[in-house]
Amino acid sequence: MRFASVLLFFAFFVCCKSPYFTPVHADADKMTGRWQSYSFDQLNTGFHLYVNKCAGCHTLYKPALYTEEQWTKVIPEMAQRALITEEEQQDILRYILSMREPSVLQTKPTKL
């Protein structure tokens, strides 16, 4: 029994290690001043692309970890590795920049 709970603990740790930063509508709304007609759908597309295309080689980096300047530089570099289009790059970059200061503070990783 004890062994099982230890196992469960590690299974949880392994499966849920990647931090996912789930956007909410307010995250898209606050960016419309910058990118006209930016929508929650677009933000959500960027989020899914980030999770699906950028976690293959390393865990997902927290958006707040790098400055806008650093992200703007690193994403085109990583795009070559992730084999994504320019449009997908832009969706990911916008998602990241929207989530550097998320509207809802997530203390736990959320699952998709």
Residues that bind ligand HEC (CB under 6 A): 53-54, 56-58, 61, 66, 74-75, 78-79, 81-82, 84, 92
Taking the least distance from each CB to ligand HEC, the nearer of 41 and 69 is: 69
**Nearest residue (CB) to ligand HEC, 1 versus 57:** 57
| Residue (76 or 109) nearer to ligand HEC, CB | 76
CB of 30 to ligand HEC, least distance (A): 21
CB of 94 to ligand HEC, least distance (A): 12
CA nearest neighbour of 70 among 54, 89, 93: 93
CB of 105 to ligand HEC, least distance (A): 21
**DSSP alpha helices (H): ranges in 16-108?**
25-29, 40-53, 68-82, 86-98
Among 19, 35, 2, CA closest to 108: 19
Neighbours of 69 (CB within 10 A): 8
Q: What angle do CA 110, 10, 59 make, to 5 degrees?
A: 50
Nearer to ligand HEC, 1 or 69 (CB): 69
